[in-house]
Structure 1
Amino acid sequence: MSLVFSKIASPSLRHHLRRLYSTTPTTSTSGDKIGRIADELLTLSPSELSDFSTLLRLRLGVSLISSSSAVPASVSGSGAEESGEAEKEKEKTVFDVRLDKFDAAAKIKVIKEVRGFTDLGLKEAKELVEKTTVVVKKGLTKEEAEAIAAKLKAVGATVVLE
């Protein structure tokens, strides 16, 4: 088991694992099983470790772990309802402006507005507008997205902020 501990880069994680193994009585079969799992984890590539980490967090119901002392919600006793409420409280900060439809008479005005806030030429802007139900601008702040949406609505377009 000391071979497993020596390959762990984080001193704090090594310390916690040593404490866990020294205070928890285990049978030889469970210790062997844990040792096999640890050995298999050490053979994974960095991308496989990243995938495993993501999968484990999803299965345990843990969001991104910012410190090594974080405990899964199911283990700490707090319910899944609390984590759901925390996610609802987070306000969206990045928006996309999606053009759903526009009046046929206002097509030229919509194309001009799209050209105004993008770096597209006349032909590219026309093709973009004609696609409809298309995202015309991505990754905007709330204020920028609302300003663009208001301009497009003023010329007769139906716009949705995503």
Structure 2
Amino acid sequence: MSSSAIDSAKKEGSLCPPTVQGQEKIFPAHIESIAESIAKLTLLEVADLNELLIKRLNIKAPSHGMAFMPAAAPQAGPATDAVETEEVEQVATKTAFTVKLMKFDAAKKVPLIKEIKALLPDMNLVQAKKFVEAAPGVLKKDMSKDEAEAMKKTLESCGATVEIE
């Protein structure tokens, strides 16, 4: 298909033909405009868009019970079963923790916002304020137990109620 035919197909809103590997893919105009609009969103707006799409499209989060599925191995007998069970229990110990802000003391809101901004350098003051006001919410994921405990202690000293998962 020639480039003029593709351009006319884009204008008409019809589907574009598949592209050959190595060629740049041409997207329909409405897809281009959606991508352009999304690219202009702030991080908080992207989070809101994500939440809205999850609700609208009825997307369910995958269950974490399926996250660790050991590969099938040939069975050698009862002695190896006990060893394998012990190994699986050792692997299943939690190494990554999530810190959640559940609620906060309104009288200590300002120091809490400042502390959250200090703990999360990617977050500006306005984002930290909106995060605190929107509690409960996940503050940080995939932390070691020591880091999570230290963050919890710091935030609780600022009047926050924090959970570690």
Q: TM-score, normalised by structure 2?
A: 0.49
Q: Determine which structure has more spread, i.e. the larger CA radius of gyration.
A: 1
Normalising by structure 1, what TM-score? 0.50
Pick the structure with more helix per residue.
1
